Amino acid sequence: MARLTQVDLIDLNQTFEKRTPQELIKWAKDVFGGRLAAISSMQRTGNVICHMLSSLPLDMKVLFVDTGVLFKETLQTRDRLAEAYGLDVVTLEPKQTMAEQTAELGVLYLSPEGQQTCCDLRKTQPLLEVVDEYDALIGSLRRSDGGKRAQCPILAVDPKMNCLRVNPLVGFSDEQLADYIETHDVVINPLHSQGYTTIGCDRCTTPVMPEEPKRAGRWRHLGPWAVYCGINPTDLDTETSPAIDLPQDLVDRILGRETDFVI
């Protein structure tokens, strides 16, 4: 196994700034093959990625975490999208129902600390169940979302999943996103047209006023302390250069280099 750090990706990330989202997705497929999947929460950007996968077209699984307390509109969007684009959507679920979790641990999402635990149990842990199946995941984070995502790189190491996160849409502006959705008639979660700029669990998501930040509707009851769920590694405060361990030949393919085994 070889070590791949975020620092190792600096030059490649700079080069990839000139690539289109479709080119980045194709690169990921060429490098990772069958050990590549996309991940979507059935919001605007994730659905744009799914449309791109279908239109390229590329045979790739789409991972979807059903926390057990999502809006019915989100689940319906998952089903519509899978049918419309012919995608293999793999639904991952937490080990306990919300009722079982509450009986054991109480109502976690009423405090900032509890929210972190709840999101870990219901979002991150289900994803970690497939930790050994993928070397890379295609996400849909954008810098225009602001906050910790304002500096999101195209390629980011994910130590928990021990894989590379590929974010083809980081450079997409709000205008570009809206244009793509309108031009291609992308399947969209109807909650977006009902005031929900970002959509999570039904317990912790509310509509957002026009003058509010995009993520104001997430964990509103907790104030400014809870803004992210933690499923995306670039949303977290981490060490200077997080790292993952991958086969040497795969690291070489990612970085576009040949290994000299002559000593």
Sorted by where each starts, the structural domains of the chain and their CATH numbers stand as 2-254 (3.40.50.620)
* Span 69-118, pLDDT tens digits: 999 999 999 999 999 999 999 999 999 999 999 999 999 999 989 999 99
Q: How confident is the model at residue 215 (pLDDT cuts 50, 70, 90)?
A: confident
| Cβ atoms of 92 and 199 closer than 8 Å | no
User: Is 118 in the active site?
Assistant: no
Interval 124-169: pLDDT, tens:
999 999 999 999 999 999 998 877 778 889 999 999 999 999 999 9
Report for 144-153, 180-189, 197-206, 248-257: range of highest mean pLDDT: 180-189
pLDDT (mean) for 240-263: 75
